[in-house]
Amino acid sequence: MKKLFGVIGDPIAHSMSPVMHNDLFNHYGIDAAYVPLHVRKSNLEDAIKGFKAIGIDGFNVTIPHKTEIMNFLDEIDPLAEAIGAVNTVVNKEGTLIGYNTDGRGFVRGLTEELSSLPDKKVMLIGAGGAARAIYFSMAEAGVQKMDICNRTTEKADLLKKACPFPVNTSIFDIEGASKCIEDYDLLIQTTSIGMSPNVDERPLEFNQLKIGCFASDIIYNPLETQFLKEAKSLGANIQNGIEMFVYQGALAFELWTGIFPDTKRMKKNVLNQLG
């Protein structure tokens, strides 16, 4: 029987996941369809009951349901539980299991570009939902020194306290981080600052970076944020948010099918969709 997958969110029309996953199903000869499903907050519980009733094989979860969905699943992977958000659900013989592939996807995308990740001195910029998934997943991957800078330092403190894996973290406000940014091997920008249409904004100022510094921004619209442009002009190697998007999708696809897909193909597909 044809397998059924989807992505739930509100809004959902502009999700790039359906085209990306349908291309993969086609490429690997899997008889399956992946559809965008518009689910409002007030309908989430009913939607999940419906998915169980029809035996959906799996689905992705996006804004605004990533946390709320946890109330309606049968099991939650420990990392997703710690992060407090689920972006991928697997239907295992009628049991709905929630995972978070955002943070692990970010880490996987990063290790394609960077060797010896655990030895890097990391500065994480931001302390929101995306930062939480990345911080915990980087700690899970063995990163030992990872500082956080955020406008609201209390939020960074909460992140640090909640992390289930050992990691050495100091917390900075924006001004404090600007002063020591050249000490870091890896900068990870997780806020929405610089996202289209506010393309001239950047989360912090710097005029020097460590030699060999790598800068990553989870934003992919624009493909090069002001933060990445400035880091590049100071000699850093850079990575935009396409990798995180592609690798979270690749890990979801692997959870559903057992196949870790061709990420180069996925990246091409996403760039095509972005136009």
Q: Which residues bind ligand ATR (CB under 6 A)?
A: 126-131, 150-152, 155, 190-193
* Token pair for 229: 């442009």
Name the minimum Å distance from CB 116 to ligand ATR: 27
153 is in an annotated binding site: yes
Q: How many CB atoms lie within 10 A of CB 176?
A: 15
Closest CB to ligand ATR among residues 240, 269: 240
133 is in an annotated binding site: no
3-state secondary structure of 80: helix
Separation of alpha carbons 163 and 180, rounded Å:
24
Closest CB to ligand ATR among residues 109, 194: 194
15 is in an annotated binding site: yes
One of 2, 41, 49, 66 is an active-site residue; which one?
A: 66
Q: How many CB atoms lie within 10 A of CB 203?
A: 23
The answer to whether the beta carbons of residues 129 and 153 sit under 8 Å apart is no
179 is in an annotated binding site: no
Residue type, 200: D
> Is 66 marked active-site?
yes
Name the minimum Å distance from CB 61 to ligand ATR: 13
Pairing of strands 95-99, 88-92: antiparallel
Closest CB to ligand ATR among residues 152, 168: 152
Name the minimum Å distance from CB 124 to ligand ATR: 10
* Token pair for 2: 């044809």
For the chain, the distance separating the N- and C-terminal CA atoms, rounded to the nearest angstrom, is 34
| Binding residue ranges for NADP(+) | 126-130, 150-155, 218, 241
| Binding residue ranges | 15-17, 62, 87, 102, 126-130, 150-155, 218, 220, 241, 248
The catalytic residue positions are 66
